[in-house]
């Protein structure tokens, strides 16, 4: 699936309008990619990140047809997503979280994590498990990371990052009485203003680009 990094497909779609199929064969990376994954995994473990390798999802193909997003997924080694600029289209899900008043939930990721360690991120996110519907991944990660369930959820975009990771972006709106409780993967959190222009300095450019996409 050769693509230029950027927006692959733009919704919004209802989760019910996303069709997902899984291939039976596991993706076979080249020897150089496998060695690079081994090195990246070893580096994580040396700095204390409990990163357990295994299988996760990658995007084999996609299409937008008759208002529906169709995703063909394939099992692949999880550690391939760690290779800079060559992550084999490993699939990750990002659930951007909004309060009823439009504010954005942001969390600072703990320093021991495999990705975005010590940086602020929007909402919840993670890899897609084998045979999992990635629209369910969004809600699962939201519950695991913040102990809340969405009042409504939309699938907003499919994005290819420069790292060659494919990101499925969803947007979750919480009920007015929701109380978020961060998990151990976060060491701080905040509700950023609905107006992105009023975001704090720690809101870096990638986060602002995601917000601009969702506000468009």
SS3 59: strand
142, part of any domain = yes
Of 78, 199, 84, 98, nearest in space to 148 by CA: 98
Q: How many domains does the chain have?
A: 1
Residue 185 lies in a domain: yes
- 121 lies in a domain? yes
Is 2 within a domain?
no
The predicted structure's pLDDT at residue 1: 63
What's residue 48's pLDDT? 76
Sign of the alpha-carbon torsion through 110, 122, 68, 163? negative
C-alpha torsion angle, residues 49, 51, 57, 59 (rounded to 10)? 40
Residue 4 within any structural domain of the chain: no
Give the structural domain span for 84.
12-215
Can you give the CATH number for the domain in which 38 is found?
Answer: 3.90.79.10
Residue in 82, 99, 127 with CA at minimum distance from that of residue 189: 99
pLDDT the model gives residue 125: 94
For residue 1, being part of any structural domain is answered with: no
Task: Determine the pLDDT at residue 164.
Answer: 96
Instruction: Give a yes or no: residue 3 inside a domain.
Output: no
Break the chain down into helix, strand, coil percent, rounded to 5: 25, 35, 40
Residue 52 confidence (pLDDT): 74
Q: Taking the model in full, what pTM does it have?
A: 0.94
pLDDT along the chain (216 residues), means of 10: 85 98 97 95 82 91 97 97 94 97 95 82 96 98 97 98 96 96 95 97 95 93
Number of C-beta neighbours around residue 131 at 10 A: 11
**Contact (Cβ atoms closer than 8 angstroms) between residue 89 and residue 167:** no
7 within a domain of the structure (yes/no): no
């Amino acid at each position: 699936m050769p693509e230029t990094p950027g927006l692959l497909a733009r919704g919004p779609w209802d989760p019910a309008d996303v069709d997902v199929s899984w291939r039976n064969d596991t993706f076979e990376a080249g020897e150089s990619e496998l060695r690079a994954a081994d090195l990246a995994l070893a580096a994580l473990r040396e700095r204390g990140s409990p990163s357990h390798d295994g299988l996760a999802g990658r995007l084999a193909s996609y299409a937008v047809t008759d208002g529906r997003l169709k995703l063909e997924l394939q099992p692949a080694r999880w550690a391939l997503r760690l290779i800079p600029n060559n992550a084999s289209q490993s699939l990750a899900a990002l659930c951007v979280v909004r309060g009823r008043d439009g504010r954005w939930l942001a969390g600072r990721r703990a320093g021991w994590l495999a990705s975005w360690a010590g940086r602020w991120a929007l909402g919840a996110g993670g890899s897609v498990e084998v045979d999992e519907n990635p629209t369910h991944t969004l809600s699962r990660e939201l519950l695991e990371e913040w102990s809340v369930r969405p009042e409504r959820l939309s699938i907003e975009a499919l994005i290819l990052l420069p790292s060659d990771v494919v990101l499925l972006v969803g947007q979750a709106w919480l009920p007015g009485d929701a109380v978020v409780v961060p998990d151990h993967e976060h060491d701080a959190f905040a509700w950023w203003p609905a107006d992105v222009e009023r975001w704090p300095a720690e809101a870096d450019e990638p986060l602002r680009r995601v917000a601009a996409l969702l506000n468009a």
